[in-house]
């Protein structure tokens, strides 16, 4: 599914739609984000977090220097940013991060997932790839495994909009 976002407000709103689908399905697969710097990954994540129960208590910002921020949502959200780890993959001991990255107690929202080693990719996920477009940002959403449940919910939402 491709979605054109014309403004940061639309990105926030679509993030809240994703949160609504997660809650409606009561299923929280990892959501993996890819795209260039400044393309809007954190803005969509902010919308998702704010759309979850207790999300209004969170201050969402990019965890570039911490690698992960935990937000007090239901379920708790772990917001990862792998940007700084791009050149460390060959050297980095991923066993330390693997437990956090694949923790089923968290909703995992991961920026720069293209830097994650293949062996850490979950079976079930929703991949959101963002790119610049002349009219804003283009978002390509691809489900993996049981991430199809959330993808179907998003398709139904898009159909009801038209």
pLDDT digits (tens, 9 = 90+) for 79-92: 998 887 655 555 55
Q: Which pLDDT score, from 0 to 100, does residue 19 have?
A: 97
The string of pLDDT tens digits covering residues 113-129 is: 998 888 888 899 999 99
- The reported pLDDT for the residue numbered 103 is 80
Cα 9 from Cα 140, distance rounded (Å) = 18
More confident call, 87 vs 146: 146
Separation CA 146–CA 162 (nearest Å): 26
**For residue 145, pLDDT beyond 80:** yes
Give the whole-number percent of the chain exceeding pLDDT 70.
Answer: 89
Show the domains of the chain with their CATH numbers: 2-161 (3.40.50.300)
What is the tens place of the pLDDT at every residue in 4-44? Answer: 999 999 999 999 999 999 999 999 999 999 999 999 999 99
Between CA 32 and CA 38, with CA 34 as vertex, the angle to 5 degrees is: 125
With a CB cutoff of 8 Å and minimum separation 6, the contacts of 100 are: 68, 78, 80, 106
């Amino acid at each position: 599914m491709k979605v054109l976002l014309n403004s940061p407000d639309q990105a926030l709103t679509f993030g809240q739609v994703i949160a609504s689908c997660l809650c409606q399905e009561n299923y929280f697969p990892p959501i993996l984000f890819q795209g260039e710097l400044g393309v809007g990954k954190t803005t969509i994540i902010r919308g998702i977090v704010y759309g979850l129960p207790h999300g209004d208590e969170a201050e969402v910002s990019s965890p570039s220097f911490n690698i992960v921020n935990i937000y007090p949502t239901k379920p708790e959200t772990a917001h990862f940013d792998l940007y700084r780890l791009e050149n460390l993959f060959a050297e980095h001991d991923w066993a330390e991060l693997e437990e956090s990255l694949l923790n089923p107690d968290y909703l995992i929202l991961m920026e720069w997932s293209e830097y994650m080693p293949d062996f850490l990719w979950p079976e079930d996920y929703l991949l959101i790839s963002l790119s610049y477009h002349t009219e804003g940002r283009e978002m390509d959403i691809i489900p993996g495994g049981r991430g199809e449940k959330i993808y179907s919910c998003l398709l139904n939402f898009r159909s009801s909009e038209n």
